[in-house]
Amino acid sequence: AQTVTQSQPEMSVQEAETVTLSCTYDTSESNYYLFWYKQPPSRQMILVIRQEAYKQQNATENRFSVNFQKAAKSFSLKISDSQLGDTAMYFCAFMKRAQGGSEKLVFGKGTKLTVNP
Partner 1 sequence: DTGVSQDPRHKITKRGQNVTFRCDPISEHNRLYWYRQTLGQGPEFLTYFQNEAQLEKSRLLSDRFSAERPKGSFSTLEIQRTEQGDSAMYLCASSPTDYSNQPQHFGDGTRLSIL
Site string for partner 1, 32-71 (x = CB under 8 A): -x-x-x-----xxxxx--x---------------------
Determine, following the binding rule CB under 8 A, whether residue 102 of this chain makes contact with partner 1. yes
Q: Which residues pair with 57 in a beta bridge?
A: none
Nearer to partner 1, 75 or 91 (CB): 91
Q: Of all helices (H) and strands (E), which one includes residue 41?
A: none
Q: Are 109 and 89 in contact (CB under 8 A)?
A: no
7 to 36: interface string for partner 1, x by CB under 8 A: --------------------------x-x-
Residue count of the chain, please give it: 117
Q: Are 11 and 113 in contact (CB under 8 A)?
A: yes
Taking the C-alpha atoms of residue 88 and residue 68, their distance in angstroms, rounded to an integer, is 22
What does the binding site for partner 1 look like in residue numbers (CB under 8 A)? 4, 6, 33, 35, 37, 43-47, 50, 91, 93, 95, 97-110
